[in-house]
Amino acid sequence: MTQTGPLLRVADRGDVDAVRAVVTAAYEPWIPVIGKRPVPMEADYDQLIEAGRVTVLLPQGGGPIAAIIVLVLEPEGLLIENVAVDPAFQGRGFGGILLAHAEDVAKSAGRGSVRLYTHPLMASNIALYEHLGYVITTGDTHEEQPVHLTKSL
In SS3 terms, 50-117 reads as HCCCEEEEECCCCCCCCEEEEEEECCCCEEEEEEEECHHHCCCCHHHHHHHHHHHHHHHCCCCEEEEE
Mean pLDDT of the chain: 92
| CATH among 1.10.3720.10, 3.30.420.40, 3.40.50.300, 3.40.630.30 for 7-152 | 3.40.630.30
Measured distance CA(56)–CA(66) in Å, rounded: 8
pLDDT above 90: residue 13: yes
User: For position 141, what pLDDT does the model report?
Assistant: 55
Give percent of the chain with pLDDT exceeding 70.
93
User: For position 62, what pLDDT does the model report?
Assistant: 80
Residue 7, φ and ψ in degrees, nearest 5: -105, 130
In DSSP terms, which residues pair with 56 in a beta bridge? 9, 68
**pTM of the entire structure?**
0.92
Yes or no: say if 149 and 130 are a contact pair by the CB < 8 Å rule. Answer: yes
User: For position 108, what pLDDT does the model report?
Assistant: 97
